[in-house]
Structure 1
Amino acid sequence: MKALVFAAGLGERMRPLTLHTPKPLLSVAGKPLIVWHLERLAAIGVREVVVNIAWLAECFAPTLGDGSRWGLTLHFVHEGDTPLETGGGILNALPVLGGQPFLVVNGDIWTDFDFATLPREPAGQAHLVMVDNPAQHPHGDYRLDADGLLHHDREGACLTYAGIGIYRPSIVAEWQETIGDAPGSECTPPRFSVVPLQKHFMARGQVTGQHHRGRWTDVGTVERLQALDAELAANG
């Protein structure tokens, strides 16, 4: 299985830290956020990782090299000056990801989630990891039912999408029909979020999920980065 790490974001809420360092390369407990992911991906047998890049793209290769130190091959896919968002990022990376299901992880989260608990391929179009709602996102995203299906109807308590999942390449096959004329869809390459696609296939019972009850942080602000660093340092 290949993996895609989303690392193209502008990191605007993290400035001034991200003026010269892209957010996935910011360090916690002595190593960049993205390296925590690379180590865990290598541990479950992933051998090729696609890293989509845009903001400060030139920083990644000098910091990470070719991936060989982790037993990986890294493929850096440059999206240009403007990130293509999650859906556009998947579509743009497909020539490197190939035709098989792939693992996706946001480069700006930290978690103790064990990637080995993910299915090798989703039952439908996608399988997403959900977490308890953090303080900054109290209402969550999707509802996980007793059968492991995800829903966006909000007819019950929702959990937050962790930014980790297994996707089939076909999730973006008909993106134009789902996205319509949303801003960015007219660009070349197109820029769009994967969220409408997730909801589209949830409505058809084709998105499953699992609830991770361990540690997870969306490192979206300087304060959360500092808190995570302090927590990891205190816990060794």
Structure 2
Amino acid sequence: MKAMILAAGRGKRMMPLTQNMPKPMLKVAEKPLIEHHINNLKAAGITDIVINLAWQGDKIKDYFKDGSQFGVSINYSQEVEGGLETAGGIIEALPLLGDSFIVINGDVYTDYDVSALMQLHLQSGEAHIVLIENPPHNLDGDFTLSHLSDESQKYTFSGISRYHADFFKGLAQGVRPLGPILREKLNEHLVSTELYIGQWDDIGTPARLDELNKRLKAQ
């Protein structure tokens, strides 16, 4: 199975740290954030990885190259300046990804074990997303658990998911956010969900990055 790490975002909220550096290359526990994802994927047995690039993407490519020094194989999906949003980036990379694949946001830090996603059997056009309890910056949440009837309780999308390639069938290339597609497909019962209670941090601001590094250092 292949995995895609989303790393094309501009990271404007992380300024000035992202003035000349892509957000996934910011250091967490003295390693680039994206390196933690690569190590976790490798530990789960996933060594064929696609990374999409836009803002300062050459810095990611220069650091990881073909991935061989990290025990993986990396292909890159180069996007236009400004990027294509999440769904647009995945659609652009589909020729590199195969029939079913895992996607991870490059700007989160987590200990989620993607081995669980590898055990899923997705039918054509289906997806599975991992939700987490709502952090302070997203108290209203994003999506309900698909097996619950309480529509008032929403949880936050972790940025971790698995897709059958046909989930994006018929969608044109270009700038396209993922959220509206997930909501539509959830209503069509094509998206399953799970709630993960574990380590998860969104590296959305310099303060959050500093707080995470302090917490990890104290462990």
TM-score (norm: length of structure 2): 0.94
Alignment correspondent of 2:133: 132
Percent identity of paired positions between Structure 1 and Structure 2: 38
Quick check: 1:73 aligned with 2:73?
yes
Corresponding residue for residue 144 of structure 2: 143
1:220 aligned residue: 204
1:35 corresponds to which residue? Answer: 35
| 1:157 aligns with one of 149, 153, 160 | 153
**Structure 2: distance between partners of 1:219 and 1:8:** 15
Deviation at residue 44 of structure 1 after TM alignment: 1.0
**What CA RMSD, in Å, does the superposition of the two structures yield over aligned residues?**
1.6
Shift of 1:156: 2.3
Contact 1:121 1:168 in 2 (8 A): no
Spell out the pairing of 1:57-72 with structure 2 (5 A cutoff): 57-72=57-72
What's 2:169 paired with?
173
Matched, 1:196 2:168: no
How far the C-alpha of 1:174 sits from its partner, in A, is 2.3
Deviates most, 201-210 or 131-140: 201-210
Determine the structure 2 residue equivalent to 1:182: none
- The letter for the 1-side match of 2:169 is A
1:216 positional shift: 0.5
Match of 1:185 in 2: none
Report the alpha carbon displacement of residue 93 of structure 1 after superposing the two structures with TM: 0.1
Distance across 1 between alignment mates of 2:133 and 2:38: 24
Q: Which moved more, 1:123-132 or 1:25-34?
A: 123-132
Structure 1 stretches of 4+ with a deviation exceeding 6 A read none
Q: SS at 2:87's partner residue? A: helix
Write the mapping of 1:101-116 to structure 2, written as runs, cut at 5 A. 101-116=100-115
C-alpha deviation, 1:163, in angstroms: 0.1
Q: CA deviation at 1:20?
A: 1.2
- When normalised by structure 1's length, the TM-score is 0.88
Shift of residue 132, structure 1, vs aligned partner? 0.5
Structure 2: gaps of 5 or more residues: none
Give the number of aligned pairs: 217
